[in-house]
Amino acid sequence: MLFKPLDLSTALRPSLLPDETLLFVQDAVGLYEGKYKIPHYQDGHAYLTSHRVCYVAVEEPRTHSVAIDLRDIDKTEYQAGFLKSSPKITVHPKPPKNSSGSKSTTLSRSQSPRVQSSGSIVKPSASALVNATWICPICTFSNPIPSNFDPSTATATNIPPCLACGIKPPFTTVLKAAIAAAAASHEGTSINSAPQGGGPDTAQSLVSCPRCTFVNHPSLHECEICGASLSSLLEAPSSQQHRAESPAPLIQLQGSIKNTEISGNIRLSFRGGGEKTFYERLKGALVQRKWLLYNAPPVPQQPSPTTALPTNGLVSPPVRSPAPGIAGLEQRGLEARRNNEVVIGNAFEDLEALMASAKQIVTLAETLARESGMGDENSSEASAVLSESAAALGMVTTKDMLSSGSENLYLSELSRNLAEHLTDDTKGILQKEGGIISLIDLWALFNRSRNGVELVSPADFQKAAELWESLRLPVRLRRFKSGLLVVQRYGWSDEKTIQQLQDWLQELQQTPPAKPTPWDWRQFGHAITAQEAAQRFKWSVGVAAEELEMAEDRGILCREEGVEGLRFWGNHITSHDLDSSISNLVI
Amino acid sequence: MSNSTSFQFPPTYSFPPFFTPQPNSSTRLSQLQKWSSLIQSWCRHHRTYRLSLVEAIESPLFHNSTLRKRIPLSEARNILDWMAESEEKGGGGRRAEWIDGANKTMVWIWWRRPEEWAGILADWIENTGQKNVVLTVYELVEGEATMSQEWHGMDVDVMMKSLSVLVKRGKAQVFGNEGQEGVKFF
Report residue A323: phi and psi, to 5°.
Answer: -75, 135
**Which carries the bigger pLDDT value, residue A119 or residue B20?**
B20
pLDDT at position A180, please?
Answer: 72
Please answer whether residues B98 and B78 qualify as being in contact, where contact means their C-beta atoms are separated by less than 8 angstroms: no
B contacts of A561 (beta carbons < 8 Å) = 20
Nearest to B24 among A524, A555, A587 (CB): A555
Q: Which amino acid is at B166?
A: L
Q: Are residues B105 and B16 in the same domain?
A: yes
Rounded Cα distance between A170 and A172, Å, is 6
Burial class (CB in 10 A: 0-12, 13-18, 19+), A502: middle
Nearest residue in chain A measured CA to CA from B26: A555
User: Of B78, B109, B140, which marks where a domain is finished?
Assistant: B109
Q: Tell me the residues of B at the A interface, defined by beta carbons under 8 Å apart.
A: 8, 10-12, 14-20, 22-24, 26-27, 30-31, 34, 37-38, 40-41, 44, 66-67, 69, 111
CA A3 to chain centre: 20
B104 and B119 part of one domain: no
Range of the domain at B55: 11-109
CATH of domain A406-489: 1.10.10.10
B83 found inside a domain: yes
Residues of A in contact with B12 (CB under 8 A): 572-573, 578, 582
Cβ-proximal residues to B148 (8 Å cutoff; 6+ apart), any chain: none
Find chain B residues with C-beta within 8 A of A523's C-beta. Answer: 11
**Has this prediction a pTM greater than 0.80?**
no
Set of chain A residues whose Cβ sits within 8 Å of the Cβ of B23: 552, 559
**CATH number for the domain whose boundaries are A494-580:** 1.10.10.10
For residue B27, the chain A residues in CB contact (below 8 A) are 552, 555, 558, 571, 573-574
Indicate whether B73 belongs to any domain. Answer: yes
In this predicted complex, what is the ipTM? Answer: 0.78
For residues A542 and A484, the answer to whether their CB atoms sit within 8 Å is: yes
* B75 and B24 within one domain: yes
Contact A582 B8 (CB under 8 A): no
**Cβ contact (<8 Å) for A562 and B16?**
yes
Residues 6+ apart with CB under 8 A from A328: A321, A322
- pLDDT (tens digit, 9 = 90+) per residue, B95-147? 888 888 778 888 888 888 888 888 888 888 888 888 888 888 888 888 777 77
| pLDDT at res. A155 | 58
Task: Give the model's pLDDT for residue A317.
Answer: 45
Q: What pairing do the DSSP bridges indicate for beta strands B172-175 and B182-185?
A: antiparallel
How far is B108 from chain A, CA to nearest CA, in Å?
17
- Most A-contacting residue of B27, B39, B71 (CB-CB within 10 A), to test interface: B27
Which of B8, B15, B20 faces A524 most closely, judged by CB atoms?
A: B15
Report the 10 Å Cβ neighbour count for B136.
14
Secondary structure of residue A268 in the 3-state scheme = strand
Query: Are the beta carbons of B101 and B111 closer than 8 angstroms?
Result: no
Residues B15 and B105 in one domain: yes
Across the interface, whether the CB atoms of A558 and B27 are under 8 A apart is answered yes
Q: Do A560 and B20 make contact, defined as CB atoms within 8 angstroms? A: yes
Strands (DSSP E) contained in A201-290 are: 207-208, 215-216, 266-270
Task: Assign 3-state DSSP to chain A and report helix, strand, coil percentages, each to 5.
Answer: 45, 15, 40
- Picking from B7, B9, B29, B30 by the largest number of A CB atoms within 10 A of its own CB, the best residue to mutate is B30
- B102 and B120 share a domain? no
B51, B83, B109 - which closes a domain: B109
Q: For residue B10, which residues of chain A lie inside 8 Å, CB to CB?
A: 578, 581-582, 585
User: Parallel, antiparallel, or unpaired for β A215-216 and A266-270?
Assistant: unpaired
Per-residue pLDDT of chain A (587 residues; tens, 9 = 90+): 567 777 777 777 777 777 777 777 887 888 888 778 887 788 888 888 888 888 888 777 777 888 888 878 877 888 887 777 888 888 887 776 554 444 333 333 334 344 343 333 333 443 444 457 778 888 888 777 766 666 555 555 567 778 788 887 777 777 777 777 766 655 544 444 444 444 444 445 677 877 788 888 877 777 888 877 776 555 444 333 444 444 555 555 545 565 566 667 788 888 877 787 888 888 888 877 777 665 555 444 444 444 444 444 444 444 455 667 888 888 888 898 888 888 777 766 666 666 666 667 667 766 766 665 544 444 455 445 555 554 444 444 455 555 445 677 778 888 887 887 777 766 677 777 777 888 888 888 888 877 667 788 888 888 888 888 787 777 888 888 788 888 887 777 788 888 888 888 888 888 777 777 777 777 788 888 888 888 888 888 888 888 888 888 888 888 888 887 888 888 888 865 544 444 444 43
> Cβ separation of B27 and A561 shorter than 8 Å?
no
CA distance B11 to chain A (A): 7
**B111: chain A residues, CB-CB within 8 Å:** 587
Beta bridge partners of A486: A438, A478
Rounded CA-CA distance A281/A53 in Å is: 11
The pairing of strands B63-64 and B50-52 is: unpaired
* CA–CA dist A489, A496 (Å, integer): 12
The reply to whether residue A560 touches residue B22, judged by beta carbons under 8 angstroms, is no
pLDDT value for A231: 64
Q: Are residues B100 and B133 in the same domain?
A: no
Which phi and psi (to 5°) does residue A503 adopt? Answer: -60, -40
Question: Which amino acid does the sequence have at A103?
Answer: K
The CA-atom distances, in angstroms, between A22 and each of A266, A294, A320, A386 are: 21, 15, 39, 19
CB contact under 8 A, B37 and A582: yes
Domain assignment of residue B4, yes or no: no
Distance CA(A61)–CA(A57), nearest Å, equals 5
The CATH number of the domain where B126 resides is what?
1.10.10.10
Q: What are the b/e assignments for A521-560, b being 16+ CB within 10 Å?
A: bebbbbbbbbebbbeebebbebbbbbbbbbbbbebbbbbb
For residue B150, give how far its alpha carbon lies from the nearest alpha carbon of chain A (Å). Answer: 12
CA distance B20 to chain A (A): 5
Rounded to a whole number of angstroms, the distance from the CA of A513 to the nearest CA of chain B is 15
In a domain, B119, yes or no: yes
B107 and B53 in contact (C-beta within 8 Å)?
yes
Residues B95 and B165 in one domain: no
d(CA A260, CA A5): 10
DSSP string, A215-233: EE-TT-SB-TTT--B-HHH
Q: Do residue B15 and residue B104 come from a single domain?
A: yes
Residues of chain A that touch chain B, judged by Cβ-Cβ distance less than 8 Å? 518-520, 523-524, 527, 552-553, 555, 558-562, 567, 569, 571-574, 578, 581-583, 585-587
CATH for the stretch A4-95+259-292: 2.30.29.30
H or E segment and range at residue B151: none
Report the CATH number at residue B31. Answer: 1.10.10.570
Q: Does residue B25 share a domain with residue B89?
A: yes
Shortest Cα–Cα distance, B41 to chain A (Å)? 6
Helix (H) or strand (E) holding A569: strand A565-570
- The answer to whether residues B23 and B55 belong to one domain is yes
pLDDT band at B58 (very low <50, low <70, confident <90, very high): confident
B102 and B32 fall within a common domain: yes
Rounded CA gap, B140 and A471, in Å? 81
Q: Which of B44, B79, B109 is the last residue of a domain?
A: B109
Residue of A nearest to B29 (CA): A574
Q: How far apart are CA A45 and CA A156, in angstroms?
A: 39
- Are residues B155 and B170 part of one domain? yes
Q: Which of A76, A77, A57 is nearest to A67 (CA)?
A: A57
Judged by CB atoms closer than 8 Å, whether chains meet at B11 and A581 is answered as: yes
On whether the CB atoms of residues A197 and A370 are closer than 8 A, the answer is: no
Cα separation, A250 vs A87, whole angstroms? 18
Residues in contact with A554: Cβ distance below 8 Å, sequence separation at least 6, in sequence order = A494, A498
Across the interface, which of A553, A562, A583 has its CB nearest the CB of B24? A553
Q: Is the dihedral of CA A211, A216, A220, A225 positive or negative?
A: negative
Q: Is residue B2 situated within a structural domain?
A: no
Determine contact, residues A407/A468, Cβ cutoff 8 Å: no
Range(s) of chain A covered by CATH 1.10.10.10: 406-489, 494-580
Total domain count, chain B: 2
The continuous run of DSSP H or E covering A44 comes out as strand A44-49
Geometric angle at alpha carbon A43, from A40 and A45, rounded to 5°: 115
Distance CA A105, CA A116 (A): 6
B133 vs chain A: nearest CA distance in angstroms? Answer: 31
Q: Which residues of B touch A562 (CB under 8 A)?
A: 16, 20, 69
Instruction: Say if the Cβ atoms of A523 and B11 lie within 8 Å.
Output: yes
In A, which residues are within 8 Å of B16 by CB distance? 519, 527, 560, 562, 567, 569
A-B contacts at Cβ under 8 angstroms: 80
Report the pLDDT value the prediction gives residue A584, as an integer from 0 to 100. Answer: 44
Answer whether residue B122 is part of any domain: yes
* CA A487 – CA A494 distance, rounded (Å): 13
A251, A33 contact by CB (below 8 A): yes
